[in-house]
Amino acid sequence: MKRVVNCINYDDENEWRELEISSDLHVYPCCTLHALHFLDGTFYDEYLDGLPKNWNSLKHHSMDEILKIYREHITPEKWKKLKTTPKCCQKWCLKDSKSNKEYGL
């Protein structure tokens, strides 16, 4: 399937490879969003940033509840077109972006 992003965490077998859990028990769908949120305090995504505080914390919610939100917002189907690609994925993972080229993706 043609995609506008290079997702380092969604493989050719259509499976999510890993999850990231921060030391304070916040869950992230990939190392990219973990790093962005840790360093900048934002997902660069209106939807994710607008969710209630601690929505992705295992101290407050179950893993299933947290993953449901990520899996509904970030889906491979949305990566087919730029305009449907979640903003958080556009920030670092667009195929033609400078940041991706710097990392050889």
Binding residues with ligand SF4: total (CB under 6 A): 14
18-37 positions binding ligand SF4, by CB under 6 A = 29-30, 32-33
Listed as own residue / partner, the contacts of 52-58 with beta carbons closer than 8 Å and 24 or more positions apart are: 56/26, 56/27, 56/28, 57/24, 57/25, 57/26, 57/27, 58/21, 58/25, 58/26, 58/27
Task: Output the smallest distance, CB 56 to ligand SF4, in A.
Answer: 14
**5 belongs to the binding site for ligand SF4 (CB under 6 A):** yes
Task: Output the smallest distance, CB 55 to ligand SF4, in A.
Answer: 17
